[in-house]
Every structure is written in C-alpha cells, then in structure tokens.
Amino acid sequence: MENELVELVMADTRERMVRALEHVKNEFGTVRTGRASSSLVEGLLIDYYGTETPLKQLANFSVPEPRLLVVSPFDKSSMAAIEKAIGNADLGLTPSNDGNVIRLAFPTLTEERRKSFVKMVKAKAEEGRVAIRAVRRHARQELENLEKEKGLSSDEIERLEKILDKMTQDEVAVVDALLAHKEQELLEV
C-alpha cells in the first residue's frame, strides 16, 4: 500500500515537472527573435463573434521567408478582428492585409532590443526553475506526510529525496540548456 502511495507521489512529481518545463518552452516561444514564428501569435485571443478564441483555432500559419509570417484565416470575415488583436498585442509587428491573408514582416532587431529580450528570457527561465523547485518542495511535504501517517522509514525518505533532487537537477539543467539556446538565437544577427 505505501509503495503504491510513494509511486503515486513520484509519478505526480514527474508529471508536474514536465508540465513546468513545457510551460517554460511555451514562454520562450512567445519571445520574438529575428525569425518569423507562429508561436508568437498562436495564443492571441481574438474576439470571434463575441467569444475569445485563440488565433490558432481560427487560422493556418506559414513561413514562406525567414522574416515573414503569413496568417491565413479559415473565415475571411474574421480578418479585421485578427488584424486588430495582432496590432494591439504590442509585438512590434504591423499586420498587412490583402483580403485573403495577413502578412507579418519581422523587422531585424536592434542590439538594445535583443538585450532586453535576453533579460526577459532569463526572467522566464528563473520562473521555470522556481516552479520546478516548488514541485520538489511539494513532493517532499507529501513524503513527510507519508512518513508520519504510514510509517515510512527515514532511510526510505532519504532515498526518495535523493531521487527528487536528481529529478530537479535534471529538469533545471534542461531549462538552462533551453535558455542558452534561446539566448544564442536572440543574439544571432
């Protein structure tokens, strides 16, 4: 019985750490580099007939050139709303509409803008590390509760805490690797 509970705690911890890592990846995707990427606008909420709808449910995306993103709405009547949402999102992009598609030209980033994006990405990475450590803290509390309630041995708790620490170090290392990659991408001219 107690082994099942321990396995549940560990599985839940793994899942929560993976979700925290996915969140960091998604956050990094929203930071603009010099290249066109649909992840920058996919999550924008569009007022579609009175309902806030993510743009990825209303349009297809293509990148015909490295600095050009083409948004092709499924419903042409939603173009004005999409254009308005992109304009209001403060992405530094000006949408151009030809009646069929919306083109977003990504201007080259200035050195100052690149450095501000690097700072933003570092802050998002730190938030991810904190979230992963919070998951570890929560798991330790769960294990301590199991120790009190189910009589888990202190040796078993110590062994599990070492596993938790290893999992945490591995996930934080992944965040650091993602950060290094995103920094390189942002500073690339």
CA distance 129 to 117: 18
Task: Report if pTM > 0.85.
Answer: no
Q: For residues 41-69, b (16+ Cβ closer than 10 Å) or e, as one string? A: bbebebebeeeebebeebbebeeeeeeeb
Q: In the CATH hierarchy, which fold is given to the domain comprising 2-30+110-187? A: Topoisomerase I; Chain A, domain 4 (1.10.132)
Residue 18, exposed/middle/buried by CB under 10 A (0-12, 13-18, 19+)? middle
End-to-end CA distance of the chain: 57
* DSSP code at position 109: P
Give the strand pairing for 59-65 and 45-48. unpaired
**Architecture of 38-105 per CATH?**
2-Layer Sandwich (3.30)
pLDDT at 11: 92
- CATH 3.30.1360.40 intervals, the chain: 38-105
CB 38 within 8 A of CB 64: no
Q: How far apart are CA 2 and CA 12, in angstroms?
A: 15
What stretches of the chain show up as alpha helix (H) in DSSP? 2-29, 79-88, 111-150, 154-187
Q: What's the pLDDT at 68?
A: 86
pLDDT in tens, the chain (189 residues): 567 888 888 999 999 999 999 999 888 877 766 677 777 788 888 888 888 988 889 899 988 888 888 999 998 888 888 888 888 877 777 888 888 899 988 777 788 888 888 898 999 999 999 999 999 999 999 988 888 887 778 888 889 899 999 999 999 999 999 999 988 888 876
pLDDT at position 180: 93
Start-end of CATH 1.10.132.20 domains in the chain? 2-30+110-187
